[in-house]
Amino acid sequence: MRALLAKEWLELVRSRRLLVLCVVLLFFGILSPLTARYMGDIFAMMSESMQGIVIQLPEPSIHEAIVQYLANFSENYPLAIILVAMACIVAERERGTLAMVLARPVIRWQIVLSKYLALLGMLLIALALGGLGALYYSIILFGGPAFVDFLLLNLAGALYLSVILALTVLASTLARSTVAAGALSLGFWLTLSLVGSLPGLRGWLPPALVTQAAELGLGSRPDVWQAALVALTFIGVALAGACLALQRQEL
Amino acid sequence: MSASAISCQELTRRFDHHLALDSLCLEVPEHSVFGFLGPNGAGKTTTIKILAGLIRPTAGKAYVAGQRVSPDDIAARRAVGYLPEEPAFYGWMTGREYLIYAGRLLGLGAGAHGRADELLQLVDLAEAGARRVGGYSRGMRQRLGIASALVGRPPVLLLDEPTSALDPLGRRDVLALIERLSGDTTVFLSTHILADVDRICDRVAVISRGRLLAEADQETLRARFAAPAFEIELAPAPGPAADLLKTLAAQPWAASVEPVDNTLRVMATDTDSARRALPVLLAPLGEQLLRYEQVRPTLEDIFARLVEQSEEETL
């Protein structure tokens, strides 16, 4: 298992996927407080040049910065995760490298778990960088949020993204091509978002973690445990499904 | 016969409606270089994949080094080194890194580094070991594949068409490498290149349409299955060769007559009749006849005869 994990990590570094994800998340992390602070000024300048049009935006505040930052967790970040993780298993099966590994004394669930853990490590590092960028500019521009609140916000958001990652690994195991894995991952994500917005399910499915993360960032302490437990169950079921699917596959 | 390194018992594999393996029974003696011969689609790769634990048989059992083979059980995979027809590597790794990785998967720990260097020497990749595999030629990849199959010092090596994609030099190198391994390891080699089998294999099995047609050492196979062959070389001129071909093909003892350049290769069903009749038939040729001899039947003759017989029976 250690050998598999070390290989996965080295591949993420050498293929520059770690670097790309860090740059993307840092960019969006920094952009969020900047957008919240200067969007009003940009629109004001635009309204001056377009006579008769008046654009009214709320007064820039830390609330706006957090809303902007959290929008990434439900829009840009899942997409970035799907793009970097969708090939993780299917591409190895297509190229034939998986058969070379599985002809050795390796248990198939170890493949799934090592890929998920390495990708999760990459996600957490990129998220930490993006979060630090967002926190730094939020403090400079708005004087907040409190570090603990921001940390809790990111932990809740990271748990939601971990679900997306697990579903992407499952899609990569089930699909017969990388493109199909990407499409299936998008399908999982969109379905989860859609079902998570249904009345009655809204409070406890994984997408609720993003809403609850906003409250955590603003100093409230909502009850996140229900959604967190469901998210962990989703991760467990998705990974177990991936292990089972790989176990049944012939190479 | 010594103990079996590989044992297949009624091994059957069906892909939807296609029967890829049909109750294959096979015993491969320890420390032999075993040639597994068959035309394309005969079931060679399916057999090797079952032995490597990558696919399941529909019925029957397979054992490698005494361990039952199954994708769910890793014990047998410790005893096996596997080289697919086109070995796939991580292009971003160096050859040395790949061998170290393979060693770690086998639990070699720190010893994986030394083993990697040792194997790079063995397969003549010591200098290329520090280069990324993405830049390797086919022959180099094949040799790296053999090295990676040998990392855990497996008692059994499964090689699926190891030379079919190589140029003559690459083929020569890989065959020389396999020859060097014989004695220490049981090599199970699938191929349709008969010259390779002729050169390095102690024992041979011929398979067609998933069924075992014959299995023995090469000499026994020749004695048991090969029809006697005669070669007649003529001076280059179109007339006599064409006439002689017709005459020979009409003989009751002639199984087949094949022209190759200026030589006719005659397979006989009855050696004595052929020996008696041929000098009489060839005498009128006079100076046109350059050479006439009874030749040792080749593996190709045996292979062709077995496969043709099998196909006739199927029809």
Least confident of A23-32, B287-296, B301-310: B301-310
Pick the residue of A7, A19, A100 with the most B CBs within 10 A to test the interface with B by mutation. A100
- Is residue B53 within 8 A of residue B59, CB to CB? The reply is no
ipTM given for this complex: 0.85
Confidence of residue A188 (pLDDT cuts 50, 70, 90): very high
Q: For residue A100, list chain B residues with Cβ-Cβ distance below 8 A.
A: 82, 84, 87-89, 148
Residue B174 has pLDDT above 90, yes or no: no
Structure-block tokens of residue B120: 């790079």
Residue B1 has pLDDT above 50, yes or no: no
Confidence of residue B159 (pLDDT cuts 50, 70, 90): very high
pLDDT of the residue at B151: 92
- Is residue A49 within 8 A of residue A40, CB to CB? The reply is no
Tens digits of residue pLDDT in B21-76: 999 999 999 988 999 988 888 899 999 999 999 999 999 999 998 889 988 888 88
pLDDT of the residue at A1: 84
Of these ranges, A1-15, A27-41, B235-249, the one predicted with the greatest mean pLDDT is A1-15
| Cβ–Cβ contact B49 with A under 8 A | yes
- Is residue A182 within 8 A of residue A169, CB to CB? The reply is no
| Cβ–Cβ contact A103 with B under 8 A | yes
pLDDT of the residue at A151: 93
Least confident of A78-92, A101-115, B51-65, B285-299: B285-299
Burial of residue A41, with CB atoms counted within 10 A of its CB: 0-12 exposed, 13-18 middle, 19 or more buried? exposed
Helices A108-142 and A2-14: crossing angle, nearest 10°?
50
pLDDT of the residue at A236: 97
Mean pLDDT of A156-183: 96
Residue A139 has pLDDT above 70, yes or no: yes
Structure-block tokens of residue B261: 């350049």
Confidence of residue B294 (pLDDT cuts 50, 70, 90): confident
Mean pLDDT of A22-49: 84
| Cβ–Cβ contact A215 with B under 8 A | no
Question: Which candidate, B87, B76, B24, B29, places its Cα nearest to that of B53?
Answer: B76
Which runs of E-coded beta strand occur in chain B?
A: 4-15, 18-29, 33-37, 59-64, 67-68, 80-83, 156-160, 186-191, 203-208, 211-217, 229-234, 254-260, 263-268, 289-295
The DSSP result for B100-159, as a single string, is HHHHHHTT-TTHHHHHHHHHHHHTT-TTGGGSBGGG--HHHHHHHHHHHHHTT--SEEEE
Which residues lie below 8 Å from residue B10, measured CB to CB, with a gap of 6+? B23, B24, B25, B59, B60, B61
A-B C-beta contacts closer than 8 Å: 67
The Cβ-side half-sphere exposure at B98, using a 13 Å CA radius, reads 32
Task: Give exposure, A107-133, as e/b (b: 16+ Cβ within 10 Å).
Answer: ebbbbbbbbbebbbebbeebbbbbbeb
Residue B104 has pLDDT above 90, yes or no: yes
Tens digits of residue pLDDT in A46-78: 767 666 666 666 778 888 888 889 999 988 999
Of A99, A104, A108, the CB nearest to B102: A104
Closest residue of A to B56, CA-based? Answer: A250
Pairing of strands B263-268, B229-234: antiparallel
Q: In this structure, which CATH number among 3.40.50.300, 3.30.70.920, 3.40.605.10, 3.40.190.10 belongs to the domain B227-296? A: 3.30.70.920
Residue range(s) in chain B whose domain bears CATH number 3.40.50.300: 4-223
Tens digits of residue pLDDT in A6-18: 999 999 999 999 9
CB within 8 Å: A105 and B77: yes
Pairing of strands B33-37, B203-208: parallel
pLDDT of the residue at A110: 94
Residue B264 has pLDDT above 70, yes or no: yes
Mean pLDDT of B189-194: 86
- Is residue A170 within 8 A of residue A68, CB to CB? The reply is no
Q: In this structure, which CATH number among 3.40.50.720, 3.40.50.300, 1.20.120.1200, 1.10.579.10 belongs to the domain B4-223? A: 3.40.50.300
Position B61: which residue type? K
Q: For residue A19, list chain B residues with Cβ-Cβ distance below 8 A.
A: none
Least confident of A43-52, A86-95, A170-179, B233-242: A43-52
Residue range(s) in chain B whose domain bears CATH number 3.30.70.920: 227-296
Least confident of A54-63, B187-196, B252-261: A54-63
Q: For residue A3, list chain B residues with Cβ-Cβ distance below 8 A.
A: 101, 104-105
CB neighbourhood size of A97 (10 A): 17
Q: Taking all residues of chain A, what is their mean pLDDT, rounded to a whole number?
A: 90
Of these ranges, A41-55, B192-206, B299-313, the one predicted with the greatest mean pLDDT is B192-206
Mean pLDDT of B229-241: 79
Residue A247 has pLDDT above 70, yes or no: yes
Q: Counting every residue, how long is chain A?
A: 251
pLDDT of the residue at A57: 67
Instruction: Kindly state the helix (H) or strand (E) to which residue B235 belongs, with its residue range.
Output: none
pLDDT of the residue at A99: 92
CB within 8 Å: B148 and A100: yes
pLDDT of the residue at B240: 66
CB within 8 Å: B88 and A250: no
Of A95, A105, A251, the CB nearest to B54: A251
What share of chain B in percent tops pLDDT 70? 96
| Cβ–Cβ contact B188 with A under 8 A | no
CB neighbourhood size of A195 (10 A): 13
Residue B173 has pLDDT above 70, yes or no: yes
Torsions phi, psi of B104, nearest 5? -70, -35
Residue window 72-111, chain B: list those with CB within 8 Å of chain A.
Answer: 72, 74-75, 77-78, 80, 82, 84, 86-90, 92-93, 101-102, 104-107
Collect contacts of A244-249 with beta carbons under 8 A, ≥24 apart: A245/A170, A245/A173, A245/A174, A246/A89, A246/A108, A246/A109, A246/A111, A246/A112, A246/A173, A247/A108, A247/A109, A247/B71, A247/B72, A249/A93, A249/A173
